[in-house]
Amino acid sequence: MTTNRAVRILLGAVLIAVAITAVKWYAYYQATPVAGLRVRCFEEGPGWGYDIMAGGKVVIHQPIDPDLAGRQSFGSREAAADHARIVINKIKLGETPVFGAPAKQRTGGLPAHKQDD
């Protein structure tokens, strides 16, 4: 009789854990509407920048090109829009949208630094 009771308690604990996990998973994915991400390009000084928006709210404001030294904006509206699309695709894949030389080396955009022996 005690074995049967222990099995019921264990089964109840597993069901509660599954329910809590399902609720947290649902809440997380409802809070991050990845499918509804939109791009809005804007003029920034002599160049362009972009905003990534979700549900009408700005979630990423990028007035500069992180690949360029200094605080320089994107050279064209198309360059800003292309960069924003890359960021959105990285977010959809669950990746961190990091740019710069190390990130480009990982993605194949730049050759890896060769070390002298």
pLDDT one-digit tens code per residue, 21-60: 888 777 666 655 566 888 999 998 889 999 999 888 898 8
Phi, psi of 48 (to 5 degrees): -135, 160
Strand partners, 50: 41, 62
Strand partners, 37: 54
Instruction: Judge if pTM exceeds 0.75.
Output: no
What is the pLDDT, as a whole number, of residue 115? Answer: 43
Q: Which residue has the higher pLDDT, 17 or 35?
A: 17
Q: Are 64 and 6 in contact (CB under 8 A)?
A: no
- Average per-residue pLDDT for the chain: 78
Q: What ranges do the domains of the chain cover?
A: 1-31, 34-107
Q: Which residue has the higher pLDDT, 108 or 49?
A: 49
pLDDT band per the 50, 70, 90 thresholds, residue 100: low
